[in-house]
Amino acid sequence: MTEGRPTPGAVERLDATVRGKVQGVGFRVFVLREAEWLGLSGTVRNLPDGGVHVIAEGPSADLDALEERLAEGPPAGFVDRVIARREPARGEAAGFRIAHGDHRGD
């Protein structure tokens, strides 16, 4: 095992902010589909500053896969960068959903 990395299959939490052309291009639905396909729990929401915020929990390998997909984004979007950090899972969400209400465009 690499020091500082969890054991394979360990459950973690991904907290990521995606910057670029990520609103109005189906980014949240893209993230929802990817997260559901991977069996992750969490939320995706638009931010008032034009970014998208993703919280996902699940096995570290599945979070790695989601993080790679976040960097690619949907065909209509453009991802400039993904700012991500990992922390221990909190078990707060069951399933994955699009969160609304943080942005007037929601």
DSSP secondary structure of 52-80? EEEEEEEEHHHHHHHHHHHHH--TT-EEE
19 is catalytic: no
Say if residue 34's pLDDT is above 80. Answer: yes
Model pLDDT for residues 47-65, shown as the tens digit of each residue? 999 999 999 999 999 999 9
**Which residues are registered as beta bridge partners of 73?**
none
* Fold classified for 21-91: Alpha-Beta Plaits (3.30.70)
The answer to whether 56 and 13 are in contact (CB under 8 A) is yes
The answer to whether 60 and 6 are in contact (CB under 8 A) is yes
* Residue tagged active-site, from 13, 45, 46, 69: 46
pTM: 0.86
* Residue tagged active-site, from 28, 33, 45, 104: 28
Task: Give the SS3 label for residue 98.
Answer: strand
Helices (H), the chain: 27-38, 60-72
69 is catalytic: no
